[in-house]
Amino acid sequence: MIKKKVLDAINKQINAELYSSYLYLSMAAYFEEENVPGMANWMRVQSKEETTHGMKLYDFVIERGGRVVLDAIDKPPVEWKSPLDVFEQSLAHEVKVTAMIGALLDLAVAEKDHATASMLQWFVDEQVEEEANAEKIVKNLKLAGDVAGALFMIDKELAARTFVDETAGGAAE
């Protein structure tokens, strides 16, 4: 059985993961309008990943006999200054999520909830990857500057990303 304090915090994290999905979908829509379909694809895949993260937490709560309580999802931003601005905000968002996961893990440890602490280790590892991926794109966009050919190459590279549900053992979609 999951303790109420931990349950409430996981429910809050479910909302945060679903907000992340919504945020990345908004970023994808921005990129579609800006005619950079590769970047839009990257963000759509990111949105799907965030939904699966929320569902991983959802399923864990159910498995532990808890009740998932969904809350309203905040409206994400819809405008950015540039592709670099989008990815810088994406990186900042991932840093924020990493802190949230860390706080949730700290709570699980303090509450001696070893099952939750064990499950959250997957999220800790995932956040290292999330931050590294966003940071790499930010660095590439800074390097490219306003050179159209370089931006085209980055867009083409990001178009190749496909969704892999790592929560289900890595099945590609």
Q: Among 21-30, 55-64, 109-118, 157-166, whose mean pLDDT is lowest?
A: 157-166
Mean pLDDT for the stretch of residues 111-116: 97
- In tens, the pLDDT along 47-58 reads 999 999 999 999
pLDDT value of residue 171: 45
pLDDT tens digit string along 134-171? Answer: 999 999 999 999 899 999 999 999 999 999 988 865 44
Query: Which residues fall within 8 angstroms of residue 63, CB to CB, at 6 or more apart?
Result: none
Residue 79 backbone zone (phi > 0: left; psi -120 to 50: alpha; other: beta):
beta
pLDDT at 172: 45
Query: How confident is the model at residue 167, as a pLDDT?
Result: 80
Q: Supply the pLDDT for residue 170.
A: 47
Kindly state the greatest CA–CA separation across the chain.
Answer: 56
pLDDT at residue 46 greater than cutoff 80: yes
Average pLDDT value for residue range 39-52: 98
Task: List, for residues 65-105, the tens digit of each pLDDT value.
Answer: 999 999 999 999 999 999 999 999 999 999 999 999 999 99
Pairwise pLDDT comparison (118 vs 167), residue with the higher score: 118
Q: Which domains occur in the chain, in start order?
A: 4-69+79-164 (1.20.1260.10)
The single-letter code of the amino acid at 166 is E
pLDDT of residue 169: 57
130, 70, 76: which is closest to 98 by C-alpha?
130
What is the separation of C-alpha 52 from the centre of its chain, rounded to a whole number of angstroms? Answer: 9
